[in-house]
């Protein structure tokens, strides 16, 4: 069996490692430049009309709880702030690079992205309810948490399909089967890719630790939030990321971390907390794909 380093070597050998979309790179450098202004950022996003439309759809979704309808990117930047828009733009532009491709044996990219979008929306909604401000990294980290699966699908397709099959047959978490068949997991190769792209550290931490939040040393709260969003999206059947294994909702590791950080929630069961998210879940279920 290959080791993780051999897995990365193989990705390098095959070549064509996806690069971060130009819009994302430009938005990242504008957001970091004290001399840039709102119009500069809006202009860059508007060069990609499909992206601009998706950004507006996210900004107007119930996860963001916008009070009035926002119909221009310029307004969106003013309303949400630069950092938040930067983050959403990164996530959505990466998603656009790997469009939905229904019907592939074992791994349906359209269902996959629906799982990821649902996770992003739920992460944002949860963070808002918990009073956290992760400045858009919650949404983006949710959207990109499983990005490594795209690499596995691209570079190790046969082994990846076998891993999906094995996890289905034996009822084990997909990442365990990936380690067995490929030698590395989607969270390992995903974290490698996100680091290569120099995305914000909290997004890296979520991608790397989204299946074991308790093992993380930093950014534990955002990791916990995306962990909970991921298992909730799975439990509610919002999209499908190839993993049939279900983490029990009660006493999950993500909620335990939040309860440690917020003692006032110590007695609140997770099921009670997610009761408040029914509207968000319903909206995600009925709003359809944003492809
Ligand atoms: Fe995952
Ligand atoms: Fe996932």
Ligand 1 ion local residues (Cβ < 5 A): 146
Q: What are the residue boundaries of the structural domains of the chain, listed by start?
A: 19-97, 101-287
Average of per-residue pLDDT across 219-230: 98
CATH superfamily of 101-287: Hypothetical protein af1432 (1.10.3210.10)
Tell me the CA–centroid distance for residue 148 and ligand 2, in Å. Answer: 10
Closest-approaching ligand to the CA atom of 211:
1
Q: How far is the CA of 169 from the centre of ligand 1 (A)?
A: 18
What's the gap in Å between 56 CA and the centre of ligand 2? Answer: 24
**Helix, strand, coil in percent for the chain, rounding step 5:** 65, 0, 35
**Model pLDDT for residues 153-169, shown as the tens digit of each residue:** 999 999 999 999 999 99
User: Do residues 225 and 126 make contact, with C-beta atoms less than 8 angstroms apart?
Assistant: yes
Q: Which of 269, 268, 271, 264 is nearest to 232 (CA)?
A: 271
With bands split at pLDDT 50, 70 and 90, how would you rate the model's confidence at 132? very high
Ligand nearest to the CA of 188: 1
Q: How far is ligand 2, taken at its centre, from the CA of residue 183, in Å?
A: 19
pLDDT in tens, 45-95: 999 999 999 999 999 988 887 778 999 999 999 988 899 999 999 999 999
Instruction: State the average pLDDT for the chain.
Output: 93
What's the Rg (C-alpha) of the chain?
Answer: 18
Can you give the pLDDT at residue 55? 95
Distance 93 CA to ligand 1 centre (A): 20
Round to whole Å and give the CA distance between 82 and 288: 27
């Amino acid at each position: 069996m290959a080791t993780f380093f051999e897995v990365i070597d193989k990705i390098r050998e095959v070549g064509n490692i996806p690069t971060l979309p130009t819009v994302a790179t430009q938005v990242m450098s504008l957001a970091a430049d004290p001399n840039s202004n709102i119009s500069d950022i809006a202009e860059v996003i508007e060069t990609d009309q499909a992206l601009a439309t998706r950004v507006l759809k996210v900004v107007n979704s119930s996860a963001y709880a916008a009070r009035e309808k926002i119909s221009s990117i310029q307004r969106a930047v003013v309303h949400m702030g630069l950092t938040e828009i930067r983050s959403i733009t990164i996530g959505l532009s990466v998603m656009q690079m790997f469009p939905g491709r229904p019907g592939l044996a074992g791994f349906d990219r359209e269902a996959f992205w629906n799982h990821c979008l649902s996770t992003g929306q739920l992460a944002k909604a949860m963070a808002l309810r918990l009073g956290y401000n992760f400045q858009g990294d919650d949404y983006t980290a949710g959207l990109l948490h499983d990005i490594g699966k795209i690499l596995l699908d691209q570079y190790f397709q046969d082994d990846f399909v076998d891993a999906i099959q094995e996890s289905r047959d034996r009822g084990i978490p997909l990442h365990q089967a990936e380690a067995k068949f490929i030698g590395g997991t989607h969270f390992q190769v995903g974290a490698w890719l996100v680091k290569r792209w120099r995305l914000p550290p909290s997004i890296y931490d979520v991608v790397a630790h989204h299946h074991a939040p308790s093992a993380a040393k930093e950014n534990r709260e955002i990791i916990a939030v995306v962990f909970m969003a991921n298992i909730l999206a799975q439990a509610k059947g919002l999209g499908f990321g190839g993993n049939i294994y279900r983490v029990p909702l009660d006493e999950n590791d993500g909620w335990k971390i939040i309860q440690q950080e917020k003692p006032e929630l110590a007695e609140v069961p997770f099921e009670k907390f997610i009761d408040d998210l029914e509207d968000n879940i319903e909206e995600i279920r009925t709003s359809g794909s944003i492809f």
